[in-house]
Amino acid sequence: MDHSGIQTTPNAVPGAKPKPRPRRTNPVMMCLNAVASLRLTVVLFVFAFALVFLGTLAQVDAGNWTVVKQYFRSFFVWVPYLTLVRFGQVFLYFPKDMDVPGSFLFPGGRLLGCLLMANLLAAHATRFKFIWKRSGVLILHAGLIIMMLSEVSTSLFAVEGNMTIVASGSSNYVEVHNTVELAFVTPADSKTDDIVVVPEAMLRKGGRISSDELPVDVEVVRYLANSKLSKEPPPRDRNTATAGFGLESEAIEQKEGSGVETEQKIDTPSAYVTLYSKQDGKSLGTYLVSLRLKDQPILIDSKPYEISLRFKRAYKPYTIYLKEFHHDVYIGTDKPKNYSSVIQVIDPSRQEDREVTISMNNPLWYGGETFYQQGFLEGDTGTILQVVRNPSWFLPYLSCAMVAAGMLVHFGIYLLNFLNRRIAT
């Protein structure tokens, strides 16, 4: 602290030493000191601020999910100049049809996160001492590290899916909305079906797929990651399909990956597959399968099957019955007051059989998964539950508590010192 009359350098707060540090000759330490600099912290904060701001504006044009991937879960991002124009159009009277081509490069969320982490760790390695006055900063920085780790862990390990149940019906599987599978279903007995599926990864690879479990050999003629189904079939000589719904409709390729989470738009994958009998190797025809098409009946070796391209289903050891679904509104309005599902969870593997009500802000935790009231079928005829498995769900809670506690301790020490000084004068 300097001894001039006014205080131009900060109080002796933890986290910074205004005095120039003695020069170290060790090059490792010099590097570390450079990485640990508070100037770098501030510069990184400026970039993080700008990135979050740009990532907000970008959502005017692109879907939330696309922006998250491009801006926050990437190392670099090309930001279109148009993004800045959008701000001008909303606030600065820029013309509505203004268009500026081109884009500029900007560091992405992953890169800034890594740099901030390096900066933080280096700072602790070089500057910080373990004394009680700095305990607050230590706790809060540890909390921040946990928060960054939890974001990484969530993006790697969390699984989200949907369970749709019609009223008085039941379900024992969760649909995962970013993966599809080709399913062959045949009734096993009056109550259960035999199901064999080909996962999306194999369909994407293409070529001929043979397996003992499949009733046929499958050759993927063409796989479309996102498509639109035409109402008219293509001319006969240009149609890839030779049987099934493909005779009435055509799959037209669409750009992939503009899945807009808030608008619930999801890619529609389709595929043309040729099926070959296992007995004589003869073709059973080329079929068009698509997420938007119903199950197609097909006779394989005189056994009835239904084939479909559907969301990947994860079958569960438990079954959920929907007893009632309620959609309450405020009296005299159509403003929703509450959505709730009265369900019965039956799990023979755990001898579980109980009735639960899931409603907004009131999820069910069961077997490491959480069930949330997400939506409902048109006309209140059924419920849509969001099912999430996130092994690191507690990390945000922990880190929030740590950072808040750390700040309380840190600023509390400052406040106490300040009040003491005031009382003393």
Partner 1 sequence: MISFARFFPWAVVGAGGLYLFLAMLPVADSDSEMHLNEFARLPVVSGGRVKPFSTEANNSLLIISSRQSFKDPKGNAQPAIKWLLDAMVSNRLFKQDAALSHEVFRIENDQVLNLFELPRKPLFYRYSIDELSPRMEKFGHQVEVARNVDAKQRTLFDQKILDLENHLQLYATLANLREPRMVPPSGDSMEWHTLASSISEAAESGDPDPNTLSLFAILGSYSKQDVKGFNAELDKYQQRLAKEMPVETSKAALEAWFNDFEPFYHCIFLYIFVAILACVSWLVWREPLNRAAFWLVVLTLAVHSLALLTRMYLQGRPPVTNLYSSAVFIGWGCVTVAVVLEALFANGIGNVVGATLGAMTMLVAFHLGSSGDTLEMMEAVLDTNFWLATHVTIVTFGYVATLVAGFLGIAFILLGVATPWLNRDLFKGLSQMIYGILCFATLLSFTGTVLGGLWADYSWGRFWGWDPKENGAVLVVIWNALVLHARWGGIAKPRGIAILSVVGSMVVGWSWFGTNQLGVGLHAYGFNKELAQGLLIFWSVMGGFILLGLLPTQKWSSFGTQVGSTPPPRRPPRKRGEPPVFRGDKGSTAIRSTRR
Site string for partner 1, 242-261 (x = CB under 8 A): -------------------x
Assess 160 for contact with partner 1 (CB under 8 A): yes
Give me 13's structure tokens: 């707060």
Assess 64 for contact with partner 1 (CB under 8 A): yes
In the list 91, 130, 132, 315, the residue contacting partner 1 (rule: CB under 8 A) is 91
Which of the ranges 89-97, 222-230, 242-250, 314-322 carries the binding residues for partner 1, by CB under 8 A? 89-97
Total of chain residues touching partner 1, rule CB under 8 A: 79
Which of the ranges 25-33, 284-292, 305-313, 387-395 carries the binding residues for partner 1, by CB under 8 A? 387-395
Assess 390 for contact with partner 1 (CB under 8 A): yes
Assess 92 for contact with partner 1 (CB under 8 A): yes
In the list 372, 376, 382, 384, the residue contacting partner 1 (rule: CB under 8 A) is 372
Assess 262 for contact with partner 1 (CB under 8 A): yes
Residue ranges in 98-137 that form contacts with partner 1 under rule CB under 8 A: none
CB nearer partner 1, residue 37 or residue 186: 37
Partners of 105 in beta bridges: 78
Burial of 171 (0-12, 13-18, 19+ CB in 10 A): buried
In the list 23, 27, 28, 39, the residue contacting partner 1 (rule: CB under 8 A) is 39
Assess 411 for contact with partner 1 (CB under 8 A): yes
In the list 29, 35, 59, 176, the residue contacting partner 1 (rule: CB under 8 A) is 59
Which of the ranges 212-220, 251-259, 345-353, 391-399 carries the binding residues for partner 1, by CB under 8 A? 391-399
In the list 72, 173, 184, 272, the residue contacting partner 1 (rule: CB under 8 A) is 72
Assess 41 for contact with partner 1 (CB under 8 A): yes
Give the shortest CB-53-to-partner 1 separation in angstroms.
6
Residue ranges in 186-215 that form contacts with partner 1 under rule CB under 8 A: none
Residue ranges in 315-344 that form contacts with partner 1 under rule CB under 8 A: 329-333, 335-339
